[in-house]
């Protein structure tokens, strides 16, 4: 009964004219970003974050969420038509999607992506609605020690699941933690790491570090590797799939939806991992293994379903526990903090209209994606012909205006440029910046709960292992770190023995 009442509240919130407009705008921008190579939801959300200050909290989150799952959808269009994935999660789609397009079956591939995205997105929203409440209720039994252990687990999970070297990821987390400690200490009021600069008394702005490390650095990296090429557009005869296509893609959509919903909850997994896993699963279970790599519709339907389902369920740890499972979710967490919403289980009880309104808006947004995008395929393809050298000055200007408008401080604009240089150097050193941002967001909260637990226990460190939930979470974190390090340890031992 409570579930029905909550969904009713969500419908009342999401179906207001204002919030419907925010959902439509977010989905449109997300698809646009997914189509254009070199950009992504992370860059776009960091750029638009300052411009959400004037919006209501629910309106801002609805629009930013629409950008996130809209980008997961939009990347499939160019991946299929021109073999150019707009998003990392759409790389797998190019394998069979573009082959289908070259065979004159672009319409079937696009339809499989659209239908799979809608079904999987709706399933992901259902999982989010059903399991978020119980998870939040369990979280209410947590004390400072449990929250510290949980956030520590989130940091370790994010580090161990990154694709880069483990030590580099750990280093990025530590740097993020240190940057997050800049400014005035909440407990004592002492200013730390400000180097005598009053502009740093309140700490480094989340907007500054996110735009600098991601948006600026991505623009420079894209300009460096960008090579102009004429997009070869595949002809589109019809977007209606045949009966045989529907019969073959239905099981793939269901499998992809289930797999993506599961992987989306795991911190650090994300939509890209879900799409790769789904493609591997389809290749192993399909009756048409010989067609994979040559235009199998299952190779489009499965991955596209998985990445959209993962995009929805990745909100579960962010909304209910206050733990971002990815850099984009860290941005969403930052947006909540900016709008004076305390992330964590209290969101469900203190802001039920925001929580359930956001969930219902996701289903509406998935419907918008289908309605908006199939008729606009031609326009998305034309955008690919705009040279990137004409796009990046506008993006840079937009970023600087957004940063200045958020604080009216030129120092913040210079800091963005500095963090942009840092982000570019990190990319050159093959250091992923996402763990740095996660450390920056969670660092102050990890410190706060750590110190609070010690104050309540009168300095007794055993409080972290004497409480069962905290002990289990810390054990999981250590086990995850050990398992992440094992392959590298084995490789090192083999190298040593080979040298001997």
The answer to whether residue 428 scores a pLDDT higher than 50 is yes
Distance CA 236, CA 47 (A): 34
Distance CA 44, CA 72 (A): 13
3-state SS class at 363: helix
- Tell me how far apart the 2 most distant CA atoms of the chain are, in Å: 72
The answer to whether residue 144 scores a pLDDT higher than 60 is yes
Q: pLDDT tens for residues 246-294?
A: 888 889 999 989 888 887 776 555 566 677 778 878 887 888 777 887 8
Cα 80 to the center of its chain, rounded Å: 22
- pLDDT category at 397 given cuts 50, 70, 90 is confident
- pLDDT category at 1 given cuts 50, 70, 90 is very low
- pLDDT category at 85 given cuts 50, 70, 90 is low
At residue 486, φ and ψ (nearest 5 deg) are -55, -50
Give the residue among 214, 199, 200, 176 at the shortest CA–CA distance from 441: 176
How much of the chain is helix, strand and coil, in % rounded to 5? 75, 0, 20
pTM of the shown model: 0.64
Give the residue among 153, 128, 183 at the shortest CA–CA distance from 464: 153
Cα 23 to the center of its chain, rounded Å: 17
Instruction: Measure the N-to-C terminal CA separation of the chain; round to a whole number of Å.
Output: 69
Give the residue among 440, 438, 470, 150 at the shortest CA–CA distance from 321: 150
Q: What percent of the chain has pLDDT over 70?
A: 79
Distances (CA, A) of 448 to 141, 280, 453, 459: 18, 42, 9, 14
Handedness of CA 319, 324, 326, 327 (dihedral sign): positive
Q: pLDDT tens for residues 203-248?
A: 887 778 877 887 787 778 777 765 544 444 455 556 677 788 888 8
Site of tokens 């599961």: 262
Which residues are CB-neighbours of 283 under 8 A, at least 6 positions away? 289, 292, 299
Distance CA 424, CA 436 (A): 14
Handedness of CA 323, 53, 354, 10 (dihedral sign): negative
The answer to whether residue 168 scores a pLDDT higher than 70 is yes
| In contact, 200 and 194? CB cutoff 8 Å | yes
Which residues are CB-neighbours of 47 under 8 A, at least 6 positions away? 211, 215, 395, 398, 399, 402
DSSP state at residue 140: T
> Residue 289: what pLDDT?
77
Q: Taking phi first (over 0 means left), then psi (-120 to 50 degrees means alpha), and beta for anything else, what does residue 256 get?
A: alpha
> Residue 229: what pLDDT?
42
Task: Give helix 217-225 / helix 410-428 axis angle, nearest 10°.
Answer: 50
| In contact, 369 and 308? CB cutoff 8 Å | no
Bridge partner residues of 191 (DSSP): 184
Runs of H (alpha helix) within 266-338: 270-285, 298-313, 315-321, 327-338
Q: pLDDT tens for residues 4-53?
A: 787 888 888 888 899 899 988 888 888 877 766 556 677 777 777 777 77
| CB half-sphere exposure, 355, CA atoms < 13 A | 28
Residue 188 CB-density burial (10 A; 0-12 exposed, 13-18 middle, 19+ buried): exposed
- pLDDT category at 386 given cuts 50, 70, 90 is low
Q: pLDDT tens for residues 318-374?
A: 777 777 766 677 778 778 877 888 777 777 777 888 888 888 888 888 888 877 766
Distance CA 303, CA 285 (A): 14
Q: pLDDT tens for residues 99-127?
A: 887 777 777 888 888 888 888 888 888 88
Distance CA 175, CA 225 (A): 27
> Residue 494: what pLDDT?
53
| In contact, 314 and 264? CB cutoff 8 Å | yes
Q: Averaging pLDDT over each range in 13-17, 153-157, 193-197, which range is the top one? A: 13-17
Cα 61–Cα 66–Cα 69 angle in degrees, nearest 5: 125
Distance CA 174, CA 233 (A): 46
């Amino acid at each position: 009964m409570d579930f029905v009442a909550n969904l009713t509240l969500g419908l009342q919130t999401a179906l207001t004219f204002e919030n419907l407009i925010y959902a439509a705008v977010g989905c449109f921008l997300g698809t646009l970003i997914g189509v254009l190579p070199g950009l992504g939801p992370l860059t776009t959300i960091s750029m638009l974050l300052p411009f959400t200050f004037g919006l209501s909290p629910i309106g801002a989150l609805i629009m930013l969420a629409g950008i996130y799952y809209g980008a997961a959808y939009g990347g499939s269009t160019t991946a299929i038509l021109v073999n150019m994935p707009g998003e990392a999660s759409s790389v797998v789609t190019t394998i069979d999607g573009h082959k289908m397009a070259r065979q004159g079956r672009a319409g079937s591939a696009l339809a499989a992506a659209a239908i799979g995205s809608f079904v999987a997105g709706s399933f992901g929203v259902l999982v989010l609605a059903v399991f978020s409440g119980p998870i939040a209720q369990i979280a209410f039994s947590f004390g400072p020690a449990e929250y510290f252990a949980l956030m520590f687990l989130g940091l370790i999970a994010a580090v161990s699941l990154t694709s880069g070297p483990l030590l580099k990821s750990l280093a990025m987390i530590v740097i993020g933690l240190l940057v997050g400690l800049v400014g005035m200490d909440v407990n004592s009021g002492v200013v730390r790491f400000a180097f005598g600069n009053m502009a740093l008394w309140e700490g480094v702005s989340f907007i500054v570090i996110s735009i600098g490390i991601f948006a600026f650095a991505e623009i420079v990296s894209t300009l460096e590797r960008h090579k102009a090429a004429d997009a070869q557009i595949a002809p589109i005869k019809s977007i209606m799939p045949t009966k045989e296509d529907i019969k073959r893609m239905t099981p793939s959509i269901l499998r992809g939806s289930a797999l993506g919903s599961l992987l989306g909850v795991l911190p650090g997994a994300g939509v890209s991992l879900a799409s790769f896993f789904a493609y591997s699963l389809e290749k192993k279970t399909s009756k048409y293994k010989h067609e994979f790599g040559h235009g199998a519709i299952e190779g489009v339907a499965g991955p596209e379903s998985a990445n959209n389902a993962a995009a929805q369920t990745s909100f579960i740890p962010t909304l209910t526990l206050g733990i971002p499972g990815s850099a984009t979710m860290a941005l969403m967490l930052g947006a909540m903090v900016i709008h004076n919403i305390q992330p964590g289980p209290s969101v469900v009880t203190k802001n039920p209209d925001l929580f359930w309104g956001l969930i219902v808006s996701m289903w509406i947004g998935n419907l918008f994606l289908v309605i908006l995008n199939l008729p606009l395929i031609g326009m998305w393809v034309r955008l690919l012909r705009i040279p990137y050298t004409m796009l990046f000055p506008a993006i840079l200007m937009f970023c600087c205006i957004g940063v200045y408008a958020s604080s009216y401080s030129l120092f913040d604009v210079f800091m963005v440029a500095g963090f942009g240089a840092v982000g570019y150097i990190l990319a050159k050193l093959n250091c992923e910046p996402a763990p740095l941002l996660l450390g920056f967001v969670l660092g102050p909260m990890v410190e706060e709960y750590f110190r609070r637990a010690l104050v309540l226990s009168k300095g007794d460190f055993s409080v972290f292992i004497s409480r069962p939930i905290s002990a289990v979470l810390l054990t999981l974190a250590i086990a995850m770190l050990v398992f992440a390090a094992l392959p590298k340890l084995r490789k090192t031992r083999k190298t040593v023995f080979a040298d001997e």
